[in-house]
Amino acid sequence: MATRGIPQLQKLRIRYCEYGGSSATIRNYLSQSPHLLNFAKENPHITIIVKPRNGHHPYIEGQYITGQSKQICVKNTEEKRVVQVMDMLRNSSGRKITRLGGLAVRGDCPSIQGVWTPMLDFSESKPFDIKIVEN
C-alpha cells in the first residue's frame, strides 16, 4: 500500500527450515512456483530475503518504512495462503491498528422524540386531545 505515493513495505523476509515438515510448502513454493519471481519483478522497491532457519517453523516477515514489522507464521499451509500473506503484507501500511472514536455516536442535545417503550402502543388506546399552547 502506498501512502502519498510512497510504498510502505521495504523488506520481505521468508524464513523456513530445510528439513522440517511444516516448511514443506514453503520449500516447494520457493523451488517450483514462479510467483516469487513475478512478485519481485512487479515490486522492485521491496527487498526480498530468503534464509533457512533450521529447527523452527516458517514465517514471512514484512518490515515497513515506519520501523514497524509484521510477522506471520505459515507453517503447514498451502501455496495459496503463502501468496495471500505476501500480498497482504505488501498492501498493508505497517501501522498499528488504533480504535477511532468511542463506543457510540453521541449528540449534543437529547432526542425530542423520547424513549420508546413497549407500553406506547397507540393502536389500542383511546383518541387523545392535542392542546397547542402559544407563548
Residue 119 counted as domain residue: no
Q: Tell me whether residue 37 is in a domain.
A: yes
CA distances from 27 to 31, 38, 80, 97 (A): 6, 17, 14, 32
Domain holding 20, by residue range, is: 8-91
| 24, part of any domain | yes
Dist. CA 12–CA 100, nearest whole Å: 29
pLDDT-based confidence at residue 102 (cuts at 50, 70, 90) = low
pLDDT over threshold 80, residue 107: no
- Looking at the domain assignment, is residue 121 inside a domain? no
> 112 in a domain, yes or no?
no
Q: pTM score, two decimals?
A: 0.69
Pick the closest to residue 14 from 26, 31, 32 (CA basis). Answer: 26
CA distance 18 to 23: 7
Least confident window among 3-7, 18-22, 121-125: 121-125
Among candidates 74, 70, 88, 62, which has minimal Cα distance to 30? Answer: 74
Please state the rounded mean pLDDT for residues 32-37.
Answer: 90
What is the DSSP pairing of strand 59-64 with strand 47-52?
Answer: unpaired
Residue 119 binned pLDDT confidence (cut-offs 50, 70, 90): low
**Largest CA-CA distance found in the chain, in angstroms, rounded:** 88
In a domain, 127, yes or no: no
Question: Cell numbers at residue 113, please?
Answer: 422524540
Domain of 37, CATH number, reads 3.40.30.10
Helix (H, G, I), strand (E, B) or coil at 64: strand
Q: How confident is the model at residue 81 (pLDDT cuts 50, 70, 90)?
A: very high
Q: Do the domain assignments include residue 130?
A: no
Number of domains in the chain: 1
Query: CB–CB of 75/23 below 8 Å?
Result: yes
23 inside domain: yes
In the block, cell 523488506 appears at 11
